[in-house]
Homo-oligomer: A and B are copies of this chain.
Amino acid sequence: MEIIQGGVTAAKGFKAAGLAAGIKKKNGKKDMAMVVSEKPCVTAGTFTQNRVFAAPVKWDRDIVYNQEYSQAVVVNSGIANACTGVEGDNACALEAETAAEALGIPAKSVLLGSTGVIGMQLPMDVMCEGIKKLPYLLDSTLEAGTLAAEAIMTTDTRDKQVACTVEIGGKKVTVGGMCKGAGMIHPNMATMLCFITTDVAIEKKALQKMTSEIVSDTFNMISVDGDTSTNDTALVMANGLAENPVITEDSEEYGVFYEALFYVFRELSKKIAGDGEGCTCLFEVKVKGAVDKENAKILAKSVCTSNLTKCAIFGHDANWGRILCALGYSGADFDPEKVDIFFESEAGSLQIVKDGVATDYSEEKATEILSKNPVTAVCDVKMGDATATAWGCDLTFDYIKINADYRS
């Protein structure tokens, strides 16, 4: 596997564009993106498990579950089109029809994504004007991918793109993706918005299986604030232009592509956690020695989402008691008197707790380690062989600042 530059335009046959349509009137920032494949794509997706789900989630679910192919994605930022009733559903249909006409493809092959304020209706005149302009800006360059990645940002401080290549059956296969998300991040089956494109040839069923499995180990293991969004959507589009032998669930090459797709998902997940609203660092929690994978995940997520632990990380304070406390209330199976805890970063590794009580560690060294980005806490519960990793960030003054008056 080779890591390369780029995002949604890295794979063969994909073009992208981004522009400022005028949804974010106040600041004139980019607010619409389009990604188009030259060939119809086998498509997999995972969506929010929030009972309150946005209109575009409903639209995309129908396409991913009931259509053979998709070919384009239209995304806007600024307004989430969630809690918008029938008017929101109608907006989705109009978006897709407008894009379909402009691109000469069926409306039911146009996937949609929206992110921003919940409860406001989309300004459809502005949206449709944007959708009609975007096809003229489509390009296959990395820069075009970046414009799209920038156009889907809300409180993100940077665009998020990852890509890699892998050889399958003598052919070079490329996977690339972009995502956005900084707040309301506690995915349950998917994160805010993530679009991955690949030129791999693969059966729809195999792609969906792989995507669902990977999401549970990547996007479902990140949290910024414990709030599961109404718009979580992760989509993977595969157009087959790499011309590798078609991958099925039983292919020998299934695992090779799995690894590449996993890499893209995991790195995008870390980019979201590491750009959490107001945060100063990516906070990684590795649990080792759990009785099984499920318990390992529960323990890792509990530490990663503890407000008190996140404040301590912000303060570079080795307050391990909060970590042990968060393990304790997680509900997972472990013995507090067996736990070892280590802090790690580029400044080194330090054991803070051995068998549930503090070691005679240097607070100075601990602070040095905790002052770097990223910071990792390793919790070895010494019960079995299962491991899990969760990603989050510290909780800071700026998180409050951003969220006290998000709408104004």
Binding site for B on A (CB under 8 A): 49-53, 80, 82-85, 117-119, 183-184, 186, 188, 225-230, 305-308, 311-312, 314-315, 317, 319-322, 324-330, 334, 336-337, 356-358, 395-397, 399-408
Across the interface, which residues of B come within 8 angstroms of A226, CB to CB? 226, 305-307
Q: How many whole Å from A383's CB to the nearest CB in chain B?
A: 13
- Contact pick for A357, options B83, B311, B356, CB 8 Å: B83
Nearest CB in chain B to that of A405: its residue: B315
Q: How many whole Å from A79's CB to the nearest CB in chain B?
A: 11
Contact B317 A404 (CB under 8 A): yes
Contact A52 B327 (CB under 8 A): yes
Across the interface, which residues of B come within 8 angstroms of A308, CB to CB? 183-184, 225, 227, 403
Closest 7 A/B residue pairs (Cβ): A118-B321, A52-B328, A315-B404, A311-B403, A228-B329, A315-B405, A50-B328
Across the interface, which residues of B come within 8 angstroms of A321, CB to CB? 80, 82-83, 117-119, 230
Q: How many whole Å from A334's CB to the nearest CB in chain B?
A: 7
Q: How would you classify the secondary structure of chain A's contact residues: helix, strand, loop or mixed?
A: loop
- Contact pick for A322, options B85, B118, B357, B395, CB 8 Å: B118
- Contact pick for A404, options B312, B329, B334, B407, CB 8 Å: B312
How many copies, total? 2
CA gap between A357 and B330 in the complex, in Å = 35
Across the interface, which residues of B come within 8 angstroms of A119, CB to CB? 320-321, 324, 357-358
Contact B307 A225 (CB under 8 A): yes
Across the interface, which residues of B come within 8 angstroms of A306, CB to CB? 226-227
CA gap between A186 and B330 in the complex, in Å = 12
Q: How many whole Å from A118's CB to the nearest CB in chain B?
A: 3
Contact B325 A405 (CB under 8 A): no
CA gap between A257 and B314 in the complex, in Å = 47
Q: How many whole Å from A48's CB to the nearest CB in chain B?
A: 8
CA gap between A348 and B7 in the complex, in Å = 51
Known: A50-B328, A227-B322, A230-B325. A83 touches B336 (CB 8 A): yes
Nearest CB in chain B to that of A88: its residue: B357
